[in-house]
Structure 1
């Protein structure tokens, strides 16, 4: 069999703690790739409760790639949490009306960091907090309770508050090769056939399975 169906909510029979997120989210501005899962013994189907301040008027999106592992309690702060910083007070008087609506800020005065984008094959640890507009690269690891306030490069490990680089998982050359291979975009049958190479440590073997030689596709040979 070519792995579990990406269209099921709970891919592990009798273990509802793990849920493929794509099959539970209803907000069209939360976009999640196949096989990305959320692990939560309380309610793994309610991933959306962890996407905070995601108001329709902000227009920002949370985009998560394929084959990501997201632990219990991970939170995503979206742009709707921002307050105007251009004046002396940051208090949002205008939202209460009753004469205070005159203090409504101009849209340009509200900080806006854009979409939050998580790459493929990313592991986000227990109770990590991802701030608005952050981009986390493919193959990255975010340690438990990290507060991610800036972009995370591909195949790097970050931790702490604010999250700081701990180390790169591979050399820059190897990371470039892995990005070119992009195994997460292979057909699932091909992924299944080469699981030993995807989970192994031999980049040459994975590259050969992909049909690439240091980034060259078969069509380029």
Structure 2
């Protein structure tokens, strides 16, 4: 991994195949793919991010998996840990008892949290300050608006926003989204991405050169 202190004003500084981490960050029992970037004060706990995914400042991931080419804006939180509100108190002294010299920790609570993972597909954009609650799945190509609170699953290539988050519109018509998804471009190697960079800059060119003429929208589910 490559550690750097700061980008400063230079937003074009190059990354590399090894993850780039901007101190300080906290990473616990997590996996980072190639060409990934984690900016200052972000925290990953039992999570994984795929190749080319980046996390801006102050992002928190708990029990979260993000696919390739993920875009996570600053101050987003995915999989915030729940408290056991069915107990007489929601305070964590009941399961972090050792911290307060009250006895042994209750590991069942930590197992319960781990059983509610967040699953995020490829090419997903999570907006600034968004919250994705435990147990939610977000499909490939989806967009989550800034400040949204996502309590329900998000369909592929859809845009959601609000509190609670609700569908706003589709990113592309279903037939176009299906054609894009059929290319599985996120699995292309680095050299192929370089060769086809210009094609990514125009939708029609990309579809003409790389997508099937038709694709079943049902495959998006």
Same fold (TM over 0.5): yes
Q: Does 1:23 pair with 2:23?
A: no
Match of 2:97 in 1: 96
Deviations 1:122-153 (A, max 9, x none): 11111111222222111111111111122111
Distance across 1 between alignment mates of 2:166 and 2:13? 29
Match of 1:33 in 2: 50
Structure 1, gaps ≥5 residues long: 1-6, 41-48, 55-60, 217-221
Deviation for aligned residue 1:96: 3.4
Distance across 2 between alignment mates of 1:127 and 1:199? 28
Pick 1 or 2: higher relative contact order, CA cutoff 8 A, min separation 6: 1
Aligned residues: 190
TM-score (norm 2): 0.67
Q: Summarize the Cα distance change of 1:105–1:33 in structure 2 as closer, same or farther, 3 Å threshold.
A: closer
Contact kept in structure 2, 1:138 and 1:155, CA below 8 Å: yes
Deviation for aligned residue 1:165: 0.7
Q: Summarize the Cα distance change of 1:197–1:102 in structure 2 as closer, same or farther, 3 Å threshold.
A: closer
Decide which moves more: 185-194 or 105-114: 105-114
Match of 1:163 in 2: 165
Note the aligned Cα RMSD (angstroms): 3.8
Q: Summarize the Cα distance change of 1:13–1:51 in structure 2 as closer, same or farther, 3 Å threshold.
A: closer
Distance across 2 between alignment mates of 1:106 and 1:13? 43
Contact kept in structure 1, 2:53 and 2:68, CA below 8 Å: yes
Match of 2:209 in 1: 209
Contact kept in structure 1, 2:59 and 2:73, CA below 8 Å: no
Distance across 1 between alignment mates of 2:170 and 2:200? 18
Structure 2, gaps ≥5 residues long: 31-45, 217-221
Larger radius of gyration: 1
Decide which structure has greater strand share: 2
Match of 2:197 in 1: 195
Contact kept in structure 2, 1:127 and 1:144, CA below 8 Å: yes
Match of 1:51 in 2: 60
Q: Give the alignment of 1:60-99 within 5 angstroms.
A: 61-78=63-80, 81-87=81-87, 89-94=89-94, 95-96=96-97
